[in-house]
Chains A and B, each alone.
Chain A
Amino acid sequence: MSAHVRSLTLKQRFSEKKCKIATSAELDGSTISRFSLQLFSFLSVSLKVKVSLLVLLHPPLLILKKQPMANEKTGPPNFPGRPAASPFAAAPPTMTPFLSAGPVVGSEASGYGASSPARFNGPSISSPPPSYVPYDVGSYQRFPTPAIPPSQPIPPSRGPPPSQPGLSPSIFPAGQQILAPSPPVSFRPQPQIPSVPMGPPPQNVPLTPSRGNVPHSSLESLFPASRPTLQPSLHGYPNVQANPTSQVPSAQSPFFAQPGGYVPPPPVAAPIGLNPREQMQHFSAVPPVGPVQGLVEEFQSLSVGSVPGAIEPGFDSKALPRPLDGDIEPKSFVEMYPLNCHPRYLRLTTSGMPNSQSLFSRWHLPLGAVVHPLAEAPDGEEVPVVNFGPMGIIRCRRCRTYVNPYVTFSDGGKKWRCNICALLNDVPGEYFAHLDANGRRTDLDQRPELSRGSVELVAPTEYMVRPPMPPLYFFLIDVSVSSVRSGMLEVVAKTIKCCLDELPGFPRTQIGFLTYDSTIHFYNMKSSLMQPQMMVVSDLEDIFVPLPDDLLVNLSESRNVVDAFLDSLPSMFQDNVNMESAFGPALKAAFMVMNQLGGKLLIFQSTLPSLGIGRLRLRGDDHRVYGTDKENALRIAEDPFYKQMAADLTKYQIGVNIYAFSDKYTDLASLGTLAKYTGGQVYYYPCFQSTIHGDRLRYELARDLTRETAWEAVLRIRCGKGVRFTNYHGHFMLRSTDLLALPAVDCDKAFAAQLSLEETLLTTQIVYFQVALLYTSSSGERRIRVHTAAAPVVSDLGEMYRRADTGAIVSLLTRLGIERTLTHKLEDARHMVQLRIVKALREYRNLHAVQHRVGGRMIYPESLKFLPLYGLALWKSTPLRGGHADAQLDERCAAGFTMMTLPVSGLLKFLYPSLIRIDEYLEKGSTKVDDFKNSSKVLPLSTESLDPGGLYIYDDGFRFIIWFGRMLPSAISFNLFGVELSGFPDLSKVILCERDNEMSRKVMGILKRLRESNPSFYQVPQVVRQAEQSRERMLLVEDQSGGSSGYVDWILQIHRQVQQSA
């Protein structure tokens, strides 16, 4: 009963209040939701705060714990920065015999390029060490020069003169006293040891026993006098070390709370230990680089420690460092570990891995690697192909690492120890070889996989889920009115026809075409036909493929039909007036045709997709969106269709390359998504006109079709215990946490990955990395390309800075910045880049400020001297710069997509293009291009470099800008163009082509020469006359332009920020 009553009252109450509540709920719906949103954001914020608090609390704890360890390690005196010694020792024996004898292993497995026996000989070895000794010293050397032979174990030049200026004025006399009289100067580095617990000696343990212990004995014998010299400075050491602690101003950063553990070598130790080398570098680096000279010399006379640069406010802008030599691959890394793969395949942002979380947290730059697995090698340095035959590929049982030069053999050659997980594996019977007295395999010289950092393994059937696919090219071509009018259709058809003979993988290559405007046109290319049959599908809602086979045909069988089709394609649509574009349905149709095999899908799109699924609208014109939270939405795919489609395409091994031609907005942000997740590339030709851009399209399409492509590939980077790759950046799709799926990848794609430390403390001395790309070659063979590299673990932040690689850092920063623009405002992305640079420099300053009284000077490590400038260039690069008006949205997105795939050298060139003056060469008599090469000098990118009476070429790897000064003799322009330039109304219409005179031929020769140095893209020459184009200023990275600062201001700005909380 009572229950009944209650339910009744409940009902009553309910009915009474129902209406009221319902309405109020409706009314307040928005407020409630807003409230709850706030609640949620608050929750998430507080979570974050907690997390960051934890993070903040942790490092000191770790450091406190770590300290005793570090001290323990300092016990045995060893050579700072000498981890190189032992691997080096191991190296020469393996390399030298290899040099002399060069039989090709598995050369029958050719098919990928020309695998000539010459492959292993002579120059092919990246850095063949002639003997052991040089390397011991050479590993320090970043800029070896003929002036100071690096191979001398005790170079006299290392002595007093160069090192003196490096000392601070205050301790200068003392330093002189110490340095000048003592004969064994070269052993000075030793006193530094106690403060730099690099822990090299344990390194000897794993490697030396197996490979012979040459290094130990030679080290001992080479440095007999070292012990005595070590003593006095060790005595002085404690006193000095007390200084930093007492000197620490209260305003210093919290990092100085732990001077003992991480603070770098104290004043006395540091200059002596580091400077001799550093100075040597400077001296050797000075002659070729003019402007830097002043800087270095000035600094050497002023500075202390390993600090090579100092800038006072109001300094001379000429003294600033500029990367006029372009990208310099880090040599020290390869020299230290000659068994490593060449840096063109793998570059680490710093080759000194931090040994603890706390050290890692002080490295504010990205820690990671830039991988370029299929980089084109110069002739003679091709990656050797190895065929293990029936025994299968030798891999570690546990971590699946491929056998590489760093594995060690033991137990008389019956076992091998994996260098990554340290597991002892059995050597298969067929692979067995005896070990010699040094523990080396006797057949080492016949086994490239044991002596080379990069090899290509032929994979047996276990590595295939299906028979290797044939190379397959499918063309999806927009034939609407704008494609026809711009001439794109004709150029594309002709180029494809020219390339048919050169498509890789003959005779298995398959090909197919599909065109679309408001309807979709399929082409039956059956080999028995004379002419292709066209089938039109106009039902866009329910796409179907009208013919099960014959839309995708074998090229060699249907060659005649394909030729006939390509001949008639331009004329077929020449009267087309259709403006619509059913891109989405056409893409689905192409997907249905291709998904049996996979392959490469080339999309030529010249309008905004307007019909059917995946249609896009005009967005991006609205400047009001900029600066709001919705800004980033413009730069990501609008319709989820594109992401879904990209995922499906990758699943079926289809890689997409987008060619976009439009004078209007095409929403590349959406279209590019297809390329982004399928390992593809975006080519953008704004306002395409076949007369102007035809050459570029022809070249780039031909390269796309004929360059060596790896099909149905997966990429994995393995690394030693304790570190892990966590984030990947580039064009690919992640198939599992560490496996990148790449349906079609080629030699122009690079990938970046970031590392994180899994353990608070790394116990190993060396971290190994192994990049493995499993793919199907165009010849139909399954291959695994393996690149192996080793990097030492360091416990000192200064060492990390010394081993930093600006190119790799800039590459990763660029990718992070661009990814940031997809989720945040442009401004945030720029600030992120700036902040990371500032933090890194601040940390570096803290490292040195205390002992060296750097005062108001800006200090930065030698290895990162170009970092601020590249940061500025990145700040001004198309994807990140300004706001709405500074770059068109499509241009921004296209540049972003391109930069995400660029290899390091290409990216650096794009960020800091080369500027060369050519008029002097043109007026001179000599006709040889070689003379130009010798006489030309790359100039800083500022207005001061531009002389009104000069003619310059600005080359950023994507275009040439021919800059004409106002005072340039008109004869030159007349010779080049056949007309007076001043009479030309629109310079963008000027076409530079070869004319019948000396000067024109010379210019064309130069351009050709420049193009050869960068074969990935075709650079269209654009003519610009001084002060005639408003965007001219944007090209000059070092100049101040519309809201962004010039180089000098930028440095000052960074310097101020570095000091603010330093």
Chain B
Amino acid sequence: MFGAFFVWLLSFFMEIALVCLIVYQLISLADLEFDYINPYDSAKRINSVVLPEFATQAFLSFFFLFTGHWFMFLLSVPYVCYNVRIYTQKQHFVDITEIFNMLNWEKKIRIVKLAYVIILFCLTLFWMIYSALED
């Protein structure tokens, strides 16, 4: 029982971390759009957290797998696959030179990701409370 709760707690924190990373990227993009920072800083900031985000996400997903939460794993698989795909195509970093032309697309991707993670987050929260209550 305690183990299950602990698993959910851990994934809960990982999801919070993911939300933070994505929000940070979104803020950088928004700052860029409103001309608070220049594209160099913006791209640097975003690119510095892209790999941590991917790693955390992949870890979370496999953490679900190893702890036997199939449903949650399957839910997070498309996200992993998408990450793997753009990583193998070397498109995971934002391109400084084209960042303004890509701004809307990059924002859209990150908003979708954010929504995705928040859904996972809510489910996790539910399971966490559920397992805590069941105890």
Contact = CB atoms under 8 A, between A and B. Distances in A.
A and B part of one assembly: yes
B133 interface: no
A651 B66 CA distance: 47
Query: Interface extent on A, as a size class?
Result: 20 to 34
Interface in B51-86: 65-68, 77-78, 81-82, 84-85
Interface stretch (A32-40, A365-373, A503-511, A1007-1015): A32-40
A25 B85 CA distance: 16
A18 B33 CA distance: 47
A7 B67 CA distance: 10
Interface in B1-37: 1-4, 32-33, 35
A37 B66 contact: no
Nearest to A8: B3
A269 to B, nearest CB: 43
B3 A3 contact: yes
Contacts, number: 75
B1 A7 contact: yes
Contacts of B1: 2-4, 6-7
A33 B81 contact: yes
Nearest to B36: A736
Nearest to B84: A33
Given A647-B40, A735-B39, A21 B65 contact: yes
A100 B28 CA distance: 56
From B1, B97, B100, name the one whose CB has the most chain A CB atoms within 10 angstroms: B97
Given A3-B3, A727-B101, A640 B78 contact: no
Given A10-B68, A36-B81, A643 B38 contact: no
A43 B99 CA distance: 23
From B40, B78, B85, B99, name the one whose CB has the most chain A CB atoms within 10 angstroms: B78
B81 A37 contact: yes
A35 B84 CA distance: 13
A734 interface: yes
Interface in B81-135: 81-82, 84-85, 90, 93, 95-97, 99-101, 103, 112, 135
A32 B80 CA distance: 10
A647 B84 contact: no
A25 B66 CA distance: 13
Contact of A734 (B3, B93, B100, B112): B100
Contacts of A35: 81
Contacts of A32: 77, 81
B77 A733 contact: no
Contacts of B33: 737
Contacts of B84: 33
Contacts of B2: 3, 7
A727 B35 CA distance: 16
A644 interface: yes
Contacts of B35: 736-737
Say what secondary structure dominates the interface of chain B. Answer: helix
Given A643-B97, A737-B100, A14 B78 contact: no
Contacts of A643: 95-97
Interface string A611-654: 00000000000000000000000000000100110110001000
A14 B35 CA distance: 51
A677 interface: yes
Contacts of B78: 36, 39-40
Contacts of B103: 737
A733 B97 contact: yes
Interface in A1-48: 2-4, 6-7, 10, 13-14, 18, 21, 25, 32-33, 35-37, 39-40, 43
Nearest to B105: A44
B97 A3 contact: no
From B4, B40, B81, name the one whose CB has the most chain A CB atoms within 10 angstroms: B81
Interface residues of B, number: 31
A437 B35 CA distance: 44
Given A3-B135, A643-B97, A14 B66 contact: yes
A883 B68 CA distance: 53
B38 A735 contact: yes
Contacts of A673: 97
A997 B126 CA distance: 97
A595 to B, nearest CB: 14
Contacts of B66: 14, 18
B108 to A, nearest CB: 8
A3 B68 contact: no
A13 B97 contact: no
Contacts of A737: 33, 35, 100, 103
Given A13-B68, A643-B97, A647-B97, A7 B40 contact: no
A734 B33 CA distance: 12
Contacts of A734: 39, 99-101
A727 B100 CA distance: 9
Nearest to B3: A7
A40 to B, nearest CB: 6
A651 B40 contact: yes
B96 A644 contact: yes
Nearest to A733: B97
Contacts of A33: 81, 84-85
A728 B119 CA distance: 38
A673 B84 CA distance: 27
B48 to A, nearest CB: 15
Nearest to B65: A21
A648 B84 CA distance: 28
Given A3-B4, A7-B3, A40-B82, A14 B100 contact: no
Nearest to B95: A643
Contacts of B97: 643, 646-647, 673, 677, 733
A36 B65 contact: no
Nearest to A646: B97
A735 B97 CA distance: 9
Nearest to A9: B68
B129 to A, nearest CB: 16
From A18, A36, A646, A677, name the one whose CB has the most chain B CB atoms within 10 angstroms: A36
A786 B27 CA distance: 34
A37 B85 contact: yes
Interface of B: 1-4, 32-33, 35, 38-40, 65-68, 77-78, 81-82, 84-85, 90, 93, 95-97, 99-101, 103, 112, 135
Given A10-B68, A734-B100, 8 more contacts: A10-B3, A14-B68, A32-B77, A33-B85, A36-B81, A37-B82, A640-B93, A735-B38
Across chains A and B, which 6 residue pairs bring their CB atoms closest together, nearest first?
A3-B1, A36-B81, A7-B3, A36-B78, A647-B96, A734-B100
19 contacts: A2-B1, A3-B3, A6-B3, A6-B4, A7-B1, A10-B3, A10-B4, A13-B68, A21-B65, A33-B81, A36-B85, A40-B78, A40-B82, A643-B96, A643-B97, A644-B96, A647-B97, A651-B40, A737-B35
